[in-house]
C-alpha cells in the first residue's frame, strides 16, 4: 500500500519522476537479503582468518522464521556444531524492530539455558568480523539514506546507497552499499569509520537462486584495520519448509529437533 502511495507521489513530482527513493532501495534490499520466504534454513560455515593467517572455524545450523511484513519480527535458532567443544550449544533470538532482541543460550556443559542481554548490536557475532546486526539486519529508520550514484558492479547494474546512522552509537560513520537493481541483494558494502576512512568491506562472493529466491551463499567481511577477515558459506539452503512456532522455545534449545538439523 505504502509502495503504491509512494509511487503515486513520485509520479506527481515533476523531476525524477520514475526514480526510486533510497529508502525504497534499502527496504527492498532488506526484503531480499534478510526476509525472503516465510522461513529459511541453512548450514553455515564461518572461517575466521587472522592477519597472520591462523584460522578458526564455526559451524552451525541456522533456522529463521518471519512474522509479519518485511522489517517485522523474526525468530532465529542457531545450533552449533563446531568447534567440537561447543557442539550442542544452541542460541535463540527473537528479533523485534525498534527494540532490543531477546536472546537465549543453552550451555550443554551446565545443562543450563541463560538469557543473554542484547545490548550492543554492533558487537562481534561469535568472534567473527560480522556483527549481530550484519547477521540479522538493521532498522532502516535508524539511518538516513541517499543514492549517491548508479553504476555497474560485478556485471550487475546497481544503486550505490550511502547510509548514515542518525544516532552516534555505531562503530562506523557511514556505509556505502552496492544494491543489485534486479535482485536487490547487497553486492558490496563499505564501512567508513568516524574519521571517514574505509575500514570494513562486505562482499557477496556467490549468489544462487534457491526456490526462486536469489541467495548470497558465500560472503566475506574483511576488516582492513585489523587484517582479520571472515568468510561465511551457506549450504543446504531451503525456504518455506514449514518451521513450527513451537521450535522457538527453551525446550527445543536443550533438545533441538533432529529433523531440522541434518
Partner 1 sequence: MKKFSLVEFSVNHPKLVVVIAVLITLGFLTQFPKIKTDTNPKNMLPPTSDVRVWNDSVDETFGLYEDTIAVGITSDEGVLNERTLGKVLRITNEVLLIEGVAARDLNGLPTITNVTAEAGTLKVAPLMAELPKSVAEMERLKKDLTENPLFTGRVISADGKTTAIYIPLEEGANGKAIADRIKEVVKKEGGPERYYVAGDPVARDTFGAEMFKLMAIFAPIAGAVMLLIRYLMFKDLFLSVTLMMDAMMSIIWSMGLLIALGFPVHIMTSMAPVFLMAIATDSMHIFNEFYFRYREKKDKKAAIIETMRAVGRPVRYTALATAVGFAVLMFMDIVPVKVFGAVVAFGTVALRLLSFSFIPAMFTFVKEEKLKKVASGEDASTGMASGFLRGLASAGAHSPKATAFICIVIFALSVFGVSRIVVNNNMVEWFKAGSSVRSADAALNAALGGTSLGYIVAAADEEEYIKDPEAMRQIEGLQRRLEKLPVVGKTSSVVDYVKRINRVLHDDDPKYDTVPSSKEEIGQYLFLFSMSAKPSDLDNVVDYPFQKANIWVQLKTWDAEAMRAVMKAVDEYKLENPGKLEFKPAGIAYFNLIWNDEVLWDMLKGFIIALVVIFVILSFNFGSAKWAAIGYIPLLFTILIIYGVVGFMGKDFDMPIAVLSCLSLGMAVDFSIHFISRLRQRLSEEGPAGTPSNESLTDALLWTAARPGKGIMRNAVLFASAFSVMLFAPLTPYITVGAFIVSMMLLSAVLTIICLPALIVLFRSRLFGGN
Residues that bind partner 1 (CB under 8 A): 48, 50-52, 54-56, 80, 83-86, 89, 91, 105, 107-110, 112, 114-117, 119-120, 123-129, 169, 171, 193-195, 197, 223, 225-226, 228
The C-alpha R_g of the chain, in whole angstroms, comes to: 19
Dihedrals phi, psi of 111, to nearest 5 degrees = 50, 55
Q: Does the bond joining 83 to the residue before it have cis omega, within 30 degrees of 0?
A: yes
CB of 133 to partner 1, least distance (A): 13
CB of 67 to partner 1, least distance (A): 23
Q: Which is nearer to partner 1, 105 or 261 (CB)?
A: 105
Contact indicator for 68, 221 with CB cutoff of 8 Å: no
Q: Which residue's entry shows cell 522464521?
A: 65
Nearest of 86, 85, 91 to residue 62 by alpha carbon: 91
**How buried is residue 233: exposed, middle or buried, by Cβ count under 10 Å (0-12/13-18/19+)?**
middle
Q: Which is nearer to partner 1, 113 or 241 (CB)?
A: 113
CB of 152 to partner 1, least distance (A): 33
Instruction: Please count the other Cβ atoms lying within 10 Å of the Cβ belonging to residue 154.
Output: 13
Q: Which is nearer to partner 1, 66 or 232 (CB)?
A: 232
Q: Which is nearer to partner 1, 19 or 107 (CB)?
A: 107
Q: Which is nearer to partner 1, 77 or 80 (CB)?
A: 80
CA 202 to chain centre: 11
Contact indicator for 69, 47 with CB cutoff of 8 Å: no
CB of 186 to partner 1, least distance (A): 23
CB of 195 to partner 1, least distance (A): 6
Q: Which is nearer to partner 1, 77 or 125 (CB)?
A: 125
CA 234 to chain centre: 13
CB of 58 to partner 1, least distance (A): 9
Contact indicator for 228, 29 with CB cutoff of 8 Å: no
Amino acid at each position: 500500500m505504502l509502495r503504491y502511495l509512494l509511487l503515486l507521489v513520485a509520479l506527481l513530482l515533476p523531476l525524477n519522476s520514475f526514480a526510486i527513493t533510497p529508502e525504497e532501495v534499502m527496504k527492498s534490499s532488506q526484503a531480499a537479503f534478510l526476509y525472503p520466504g516465510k522461513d529459511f534454513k541453512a548450514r553455515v560455515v564461518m572461517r575466521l582468518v587472522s592477519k597472520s593467517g591462523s584460522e578458526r572455524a564455526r559451524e552451525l545450523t541456522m533456522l529463521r522464521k518471519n512474522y509479519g511484513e518485511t522489517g517485522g519480527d523474526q525468530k532465529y535458532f542457531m545450533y552449533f556444531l563446531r568447534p567440537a567443544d561447543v557442539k550442542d550449544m544452541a542460541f535463540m533470538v527473537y528479533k523485534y524492530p525498534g527494540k532490543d532482541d531477546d536472546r537465549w543460550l543453552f550451555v550443554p556443559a551446565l545443562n543450563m539455558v541463560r538469557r543473554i542481554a542484547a545490548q550492543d548490536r554492533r558487537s562481534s557475532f561469535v568472534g567473527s568480523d560480522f556483527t549481530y546486526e550484519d547477521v540479522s539486519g538493521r532498522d532502516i529508520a535508524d539511518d538516513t539514506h541517499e543514492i549517491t550514484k548508479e553504476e555497474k558492479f560485478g556485471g550487475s547494474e546497481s544503486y550505490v546507497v550511502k547510509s548514515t546512522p542518525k544516532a552516534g552509537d555505531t562503530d562506523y560513520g557511514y556505509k556505502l552499499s552496492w544494491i543489485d537493481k534486479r535482485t536487490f541483494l547487497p553486492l558490496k558494502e563499505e564501512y567508513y569509520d568516524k574519521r571517514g576512512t574505509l575500514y570494513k568491506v562486505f562482499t557477496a562472493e556467490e549468489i544462487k537462486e534457491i526456490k526462486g529466491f536469489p541467495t548470497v551463499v558465500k560472503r566475506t567481511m574483511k576488516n582492513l584495520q585489523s587484517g582479520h577477515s571472515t568468510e561465511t558459506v551457506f549450504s543446504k539452503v531451503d525456504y518455506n519448509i514449514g518451521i513450527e512456532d513451537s521450535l522457538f522455545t527453551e525446550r527445543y534449545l536443550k533438545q533441538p529437533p533432529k529433523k531440522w538439523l541434518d
